[in-house]
Amino acid sequence: MTVIARYLRIALAPALLVAIGSLSGAMAQEEQKPKPAAKTAREEIKAFCANIADSARDQRYLLQKEELVKLQAQVDDRMSQLDKKRVEYETWLKQRNEFLQKAEAGLVDIYKGMPADAAAGQLNLVNPNLASAIIMRLSPRQSSLILAEMQPEKAAALTEIISAAGSRNAQRNPS
């Protein structure tokens, strides 16, 4: 029996190995088949979620971009308004400086030496802007004496011009 058993072992061993191999291969295939299906489902879920996240992110970016465009338009509008105000202010400042320079042409010295009643009579006849510029350049004491000697309506008009020239809240002042 030992010889027969040996022959059987030798003859049956390859068949047994083939059978065991095919069984283990079949079992391995069965185990591997569900795994790819499960892995595919997981990958599909991940891909679906990624696609939704990408779409949501893209939508969020579009909304943010639209908001930024609106804000940029508002900033541009405000900048143009500020530029207009700056131009108005520069124009006003230029006019004010020209107004003050008119009084520097030597007239101030002439009126400084005049008596108050004579200066008031002369200033009643000149342009109100020029008269107020001259009065602004005189000392407060001399200006008050001249204004006291002037006609009340003319003195009030000159006072209003002087006040507007020195006031930051004047109507001609854009700020």
Under DSSP, the state recorded for 150 is S
- Grouping H, G, I as helix, E, B as strand and the rest as coil, residue 172 is coil
Cα 107 to Cα 119: distance, rounded to the nearest angstrom? 11
Instruction: Identify whether 43 is part of a domain.
Output: yes
Instruction: Identify whether 12 is part of a domain.
Output: no
Enclosing domain of residue 58 = 35-87
Instruction: Identify whether 6 is part of a domain.
Output: no
pTM of the model: 0.40
**The pLDDT of residue 16:** 61
Do residues 70 and 111 share a domain? no
The answer to whether 162 and 136 have CB atoms below 8 angstroms apart is yes
Do residues 158 and 113 share a domain? yes
- For the purposes of burial, counting CB atoms within 10 Å of the CB of 120, is it exposed (0-12), middle (13-18) or buried (19 or more)? buried
- For the purposes of burial, counting CB atoms within 10 Å of the CB of 56, is it exposed (0-12), middle (13-18) or buried (19 or more)? exposed
Instruction: Identify whether 15 is part of a domain.
Output: no
Q: What is the mean pLDDT of residues 110-119?
A: 91
**The pLDDT of residue 23:** 61
Do residues 108 and 162 share a domain? yes
- Give yes or no for residue 171 having a pLDDT over 60: no
Do residues 82 and 114 share a domain? no
pLDDT digits (tens, 9 = 90+) for 147-166: 999 999 999 999 999 988 87
Instruction: Identify whether 66 is part of a domain.
Output: yes
Instruction: Identify whether 175 is part of a domain.
Output: no
Least confident of 16-20, 36-40, 46-50: 36-40
Do residues 150 and 110 share a domain? yes
Do residues 113 and 142 share a domain? yes
Do residues 76 and 109 share a domain? no
Domains contained in the chain, number: 2
